[in-house]
Chain A
Amino acid sequence: MREQVAKFIVNGRVYEILIEPRMTLAEVLREKLCLTGTKLSCGKGSCGACTVLINGKTVCSCLTLAITAKEKNIITIEGLAKDTTLHPLQKAFIEYGAIQCGFCTPGMIISAKALLDENSTPTKREIKQALVGNLCRCTGYVKIVDAVMAASEALAKGDR
């Protein structure tokens, strides 16, 4: 069983893709679907840059074989905005200056989304625990925490 066609559900759309079992989910997303928002960095599960959601849970897509993710609900950073309407997390990250070079941003926002989907009123401590697997070298994290707090408040008020 080398190459095979597998069904992927990414950001609500269904794709039938020819893959090899050895391909990681990150490779399939980036190379086959041209969804390059998910980034590659350490390759070891230490940095979180490749974080995506599978059935609502954060995983490192660079350590997930694509074939094990078939037919599961995958969300990447490209799936957050609805056309030109940004998700409150994206709005907050931009507004609060939580983005500098932007390389950690997709993974960081995905981890924050997983948190807010499960716990809509997190404390600062809970935000830090949820994002501890996403490294950032530019911002010093202060504005990232502020942005996630602000997004949770916006979601509570009923923004989208």
Chain B
Amino acid sequence: MIRTIKPFEYFEAKTVEYAIKILSMYGNKAKVLAGGTDLLISMRERKVNPQYVVYIKNVPELNYINYRREFGLEIGAMATLQSITESRVVIEKFSALATACSKIGTPQVRNMGTIGGNLCQDTKCLYCGPILPREETSCYRGGGNICYAVNGAKRCQAMAIAETAPILICLGAEVSISTPIGQKTTSLEDFFISSGIVDLKEDEILTAIKVPNPPPNTEGMYLRHSLKGALGFALVGVATVLTVINGVCKDVKIGLLGVNRTPIRAHKAEQLLKGEKINDSLIDRAVQVALKESHPLGDIFGSARYRREIVRVLIKRVINDTHRMLK
């Protein structure tokens, strides 16, 4: 890995409009820069080589955390992970989101990284790139024909590691996207496409995340398991948002990270729980169904079997704990 970054032309955006203009002009030769904790590493490793870089972290209209009782929470894409972790309104009303943000990286990374950057970051392979400069020995991602992380893999095995995604998906979050021809909105769940990255064209920018108010009698929780101590990548991340009325599960969402290329909802498991009284055996059955919906991979940090066991333990725990909180 090389230490210096290749030269590029730099633009500092003060408005979203300006940023979009630059992106439209230069297409795939341009990239947006937010916190830098993802893009700069990729640039240093020569995985990504933009000739034009647009800095959007200073765009005032992108940096806010607003809450209104009628509409719910709205977070600008450039709000830092640390500011979300510390935000009183997020801690009070969407505590699982604050938890998710607090688990990412290190304090330094949370000060630099943004929620938009976290969602839009490239998929990660936990083998972070060869020291080899030559294409013939590069992995799939670099244009080669081998995967170093998963032996015998027929295609790139990189997956989404956006830890803010599972809880946001469970909360029914929507994302606002700015394009050259106007704004559009889509659900966060649909924003992730099958390859694991988000559906953002070259000339589009994620501007905000909208989280509706959860209905009454609802609790959310996020748990993650990292194999190697406090700082590791999340091997698995499990979120839930549970609504219970008179002991019966009115609604439940289960979001999983690390069991598929994209963050997913365990829809079938949710169906099993909806309308039923929550008890241990029901949870066990739901967990089994959720496991069938997940296809975790085995790599150096966790065999598939181990990941599934952790998923099982965590789903059980989030459902039980949120249920207990609602009693």
Q: For B12, list chain A residues within 8 Å (CB).
A: 67-68
Contact A65 B36 (CB under 8 A): yes
Q: Which of A1-27 contact B (CB under 8 A)?
A: 1-2, 20-24
Contact A45 B109 (CB under 8 A): yes
Kindly state whether residue A122 has any CB partner on chain B within 8 Å: no
Per the CB 8 Å criterion, the residue count for chain A at the interface is: 29
Per the CB 8 Å criterion, the residue count for chain B at the interface is: 32
Shortest beta-carbon distance from B168 to chain A in Å: 23
Closest to A40 in B: B3
Q: Which of B56-109 contact A (CB under 8 A)?
A: 57-58, 82, 105-109
0/1 interface trace, chain A 111-148, chain B, CB 8 Å (1 if under): 10010000000000000011011000000000000000
Kindly state whether residue B6 has any CB partner on chain A within 8 Å: yes
0/1 interface trace, chain B 204-231, chain A, CB 8 Å (1 if under): 0000000000000000000000000011
Taken together as a complex, chains A and B put the C-alpha atoms of A4 and B111 apart, in Å, by: 27
Kindly state whether residue A57 has any CB partner on chain B within 8 Å: yes
Which one of B37-45, B300-308, B318-326 is at the A interface?
Answer: B37-45
Contact A45 B8 (CB under 8 A): no
Q: For B128, list chain A residues within 8 Å (CB).
A: 44
Contact A63 B36 (CB under 8 A): yes
Contact B41 A44 (CB under 8 A): yes
Q: A59-B108, A63-B112, A132-B107 in contact; A21/B41 too (CB < 8 A)?
A: no
Closest to A131 in B: B107
Taken together as a complex, chains A and B put the C-alpha atoms of A22 and B11 apart, in Å, by: 12
Contact of A130 (CB < 8 Å), options: B11, B36, B107, B230: B107
0/1 interface trace, chain B 272-298, chain A, CB 8 Å (1 if under): 000000000000000000000000000
Closest to A20 in B: B7
Taken together as a complex, chains A and B put the C-alpha atoms of A20 and B10 apart, in Å, by: 9
Taken together as a complex, chains A and B put the C-alpha atoms of A70 and B6 apart, in Å, by: 20
Contact B231 A68 (CB under 8 A): no
Contact B44 A60 (CB under 8 A): no
Closest to A128 in B: B230
0/1 interface trace, chain B 10-28, chain A, CB 8 Å (1 if under): 1110000000000000000
Q: For B111, list chain A residues within 8 Å (CB).
A: 57-59
Kindly state whether residue A43 has any CB partner on chain B within 8 Å: yes
Q: A57-B82, A68-B57 in contact; A63/B8 too (CB < 8 A)?
A: no
Q: For B10, list chain A residues within 8 Å (CB).
A: 1, 21, 65, 67
Closest to A54 in B: B111
Contact B231 A133 (CB under 8 A): yes
Contact of B108 (CB < 8 Å), options: A21, A24, A40, A133: A133
Q: Report which residue of B3, B82, B106 has the largest number of chain A beta carbons within 10 angstroms of its beta carbon.
A: B106
Q: For A20, list chain B residues within 8 Å (CB).
A: 7
Contact B53 A58 (CB under 8 A): no
Contact A132 B230 (CB under 8 A): yes
The residues of A with any CB-CB pair to B shorter than 8 Å are: 1-2, 20-24, 40, 43-46, 48, 51, 57-60, 63-65, 67-68, 111, 114, 129-130, 132-133
Can you list 18 A-B contacts (CB < 8 A)?
A2-B7, A20-B7, A22-B5, A24-B5, A24-B40, A43-B1, A45-B106, A48-B108, A57-B82, A58-B108, A59-B111, A63-B41, A64-B36, A65-B40, A111-B107, A130-B107, A132-B230, A133-B108
The residues of B with any CB-CB pair to A shorter than 8 Å are: 1, 3-12, 33, 36-37, 40-41, 44, 53, 55, 57-58, 82, 105-109, 111-112, 128, 230-231
